Amino acid sequence: MDCANNLSRPNQRDEAERRARIERRLSSSRFLSEPLRRLNYDGTEAWAWENYRATVLGIVQVCRNEARDPVRVLEVGGGRRPLFTPAEAAAAGIAMTVNDVDARELSLGPAEFGKARFDIAGEVSPTMHGAFDVIVSHFVMEHVCNARRAWSNMAALLAPLGVAMAFHPTLYAPPFLINFFLPDSLTAPLLRLFFPVRHDGGYPKFPAWYDMCRSNPAAVEPILKACGFRETLIAPFWGHSYFQSIPGLREIDAAVQRIAEARDWRGLTTYAYTLARR
């Protein structure tokens, strides 16, 4: 019996340490972390992808307590494929507006949604200030060359107590360092080799700048506060599938990712949810 108890203690200790790490990562804002807690955030890449929609719906729900009904949501870079269908948005009590810089992309999106053509890091009409309760983006912020301006614009577009959320890759994960430093003429063919769905038709590769795409709160949160947000939360994620087709490198990278998560090495995260409340 004593031997069995001794064998179980390391696993119990590992689980306790894991839970403590998660609690520390979510501790900067009780309000912003509530949807992640409900979904049992665990810091893995799989969780990030599987729970993005549910997290957005959770944010809509908590904002409904603070804002009007329906909740006014702007999706930055939503283009032809916004996060929700019109039926899903209606069922969730969402008044959806889709943003994009490309008029053709917007024209291909659902007619039932509002459309707003502008560059989130450019000039935004003052008539839109305070017009939204929630602003979300999915793999857009890495393509913004002036992220400070983009976040300042989002703060202006939000009503008081509104929430902005961006799901984005992070430096300095090796796949994104490669993408950052090598020219598109090299990285685009590599991306299509490992991910054939990434083509120049409906799912092209855009230039990536990774401005403010970090998961270290010390580097990002002061900028978000200066942009006009009162509360911030960066939920980090580790793990990726870019090396799945490369034996040896795949295993080495996975081991490094496990160590990085256990030691909370923010410089090796692969993705993050960056949340900010006005």
What is the reported pLDDT for 14? Answer: 86
More confident residue, 11 or 86: 86
CA 107/CA 79 separation, integer angstroms: 8
What is the CATH superfamily name and number for domain 2-277?
A: Vaccinia Virus protein VP39 (3.40.50.150)
Half-sphere exposure of 58 (CA within 13 A, CB side): 18
Using one digit for the tens of pLDDT, what is the confidence trace for 102-122?
999 999 999 999 999 999 999
Using one digit for the tens of pLDDT, what is the confidence trace for 31-80?
999 999 999 999 999 999 999 999 999 999 999 876 678 999 999 999 99
Of the listed ranges 4-18, 127-141, 204-218, the least confidently predicted one is: 4-18
Judge contact between 220 and 170, C-beta under 8 A. Answer: no
Using one digit for the tens of pLDDT, what is the confidence trace for 170-194?
999 888 888 777 755 555 555 555 5
What is the reported pLDDT for 5? Answer: 47
More confident residue, 150 or 200: 150
pLDDT at 21 over 60: yes
What is the reported pLDDT for 9? Answer: 54
Assessment of whether the complete model's pTM goes beyond 0.95? no
Tokens of 220: 């990002």
Using one digit for the tens of pLDDT, what is the confidence trace for 247-277?
898 999 999 999 999 999 999 999 999 999 9
Half-sphere exposure of 74 (CA within 13 A, CB side): 25
For the chain, count helices (H), then strands (E).
10, 7
- Cβ-based neighbours of 97, under 8 Å, separated by 6 or more: 72, 73, 74, 75, 113, 114, 115, 116, 132
**Beta pairing, strands 271-277 & 231-237:** antiparallel
What is the reported pLDDT for 11? Answer: 80
Closest CA to 226 of 149, 160, 167: 149
Domain map of the chain by residue range?
Answer: 2-277
Judge contact between 238 and 215, C-beta under 8 A. Answer: no
What is the reported pLDDT for 12? Answer: 84
Tokens of 141: 């912020």
What is the reported pLDDT for 87? Answer: 98
Task: Determine the average pLDDT of the residues in 125-136.
Answer: 97
